[in-house]
Amino acid sequence: MIEKTDIIDAVYRVILERKAQPAEKSYTASLYAKGLDKILGKIGEEATELAVAGKGGVRKEIVSEAADVIFHMLVLFGHYGIAPQEVRDELSRRFGTSGIAEKESRGR
């Protein structure tokens, strides 16, 4: 059984496997075959569904839609070869810093 703390990495490894060795009945492989625009579209679609679930306030739906967003985000990471640890590292870097101050530090 996969430890809950390792599930993001485990899912990411499977995503990379599907990318490298596409199977005919793999949803992930089908996303990669359709290209970046399809992957980005799914992220947008799932983020919208998460926002709608958030507005509805049904906990189970929010959790389910959040999992969909995270999955599709991991597919995007796989497209670019970004390991989930890179995002963890960035969050660690930002931790304890005001969001306003952090944005100002990026010069945006």
In this prediction, residues 1-5 reach a mean pLDDT of: 58
Q: pLDDT tens-digit profile of 83-93?
A: 999 999 999 99
pLDDT at 99: 67
Taking the C-alpha atoms of residue 49 and residue 47, their distance in angstroms, rounded to an integer, is 5
Q: Residue 47 has which token pair?
A: 């983020």
Q: Which helix (H) or strand (E) holds 32?
A: helix 27-34
Domains and CATH numbers, the chain: 4-105 (1.10.287.1080)
Is 74 exposed, middle or buried, given 0-12, 13-18 or 19+ CB atoms closer than 10 A?
Answer: buried
In this prediction, residues 9-14 reach a mean pLDDT of: 96
Has residue 33 got a pLDDT over 80? yes
In this prediction, residues 21-31 reach a mean pLDDT of: 95
Q: How confident is the model at residue 97 (pLDDT cuts 50, 70, 90)?
A: confident
Percent of the chain at pLDDT above 70? 89
Has residue 23 got a pLDDT over 80? yes
